[in-house]
Amino acid sequence: MCGRYRRRSTKEKIAELFEVEHGLEEFEIEPADDIAPGSVQPVVYNTPEGERRIAPMRWGFRLPDRFLFNTRSEGVERSRFWQAAFRERRCIVPADSFFEWTHDASRAKAKFEFTVRDGGLFGMAGLWSPWLNPRTGQWEQTFSILTGEANEAMRPIHDRQPEILSPSEYADYLASSPRPPVHLLRIMPGAELHAHAVTETHAETQQGSLFGDK
């Protein structure tokens, strides 16, 4: 699962890592320490013409009966709800870390922050799609983060984790292809994921526990 993440990197650093040259002047990217579903965040995607861009999109798909902000990678290419997006509208979500809470009912929930490799910027595999906001009557671009089974570093805390891509996989994941890149969705080795406990207020703990992996 991924219900919160942090992004401290500058727009220039994001553009450099993800090799984005277009659209940078259209908006600003402010650092954010506690990014929650429902907020508008920058994501990286390819246009139909193959141009790499960064664009602000809203995190989550609000349906009449539920709110989807994570997508299970298992079977995503066959899912009636997600398969079109996985074939045609893949994106990458830049992050510097993500958060998770323990799910042990016998004790108070503890919050952990996860970083990758050297603690630098990384990309989470995602999907995006147009969504008609009923409040404004306007179309918005929305995104979801793909999640997979937890590795040995994550498993003591939660049974799901974001699908994190390596830089060498960014181009293949975003590229238009007759066969969606299912092979890129796999468990990250536990040695590449570092966890440490963080302190938080009671309100933050309660807020973080509101979201479930659908």
Please state, in angstroms and rounded to a whole number, the distance separating the CA atoms of residues 136 and 118. 42
Give the pTM.
0.88
Asked if 95 and 114 count as a contact pair (C-beta separation under 8 A), the reply is no
Name the least confident of 27-41, 75-89, 99-113, 172-186: 99-113
> Is 110 in contact with 16 (CB distance < 8 Å)?
no
Q: Which of 130, 46, 125 is nearest to 92 (CA)?
A: 125
Q: Return the structure tokens found at 5.
A: 């993440």
CB 127 within 8 A of CB 71: yes
- pLDDT number for residue 61: 84
Closest among 28, 210, 2 to 97, alpha carbons compared = 2
Q: Which uninterrupted H or E stretch holds 128?
A: strand 122-133
Phi-psi region of 64 (alpha: psi -120 to 50; beta: other; left: phi over 0): alpha
Considering the four listed CATH numbers 3.40.50.10470, 3.30.70.240, 3.90.1680.10, 3.30.160.250, the one that applies to the domain covering 4-208 is 3.90.1680.10
Q: What's the distance, CA 183 to chain centroid? A: 18
d(CA 143, CA 111): 24
Instruction: Give yes or no for residue 210 having a pLDDT over 70.
Output: no
pLDDT at 119: 80
Above 90 in pLDDT, residue 202?
A: no
Residue 212 confidence (pLDDT):
34
In this structure, which amino acid lies at residue 97?
S
Is the pLDDT at 101 greater than 50, yes or no?
Answer: yes
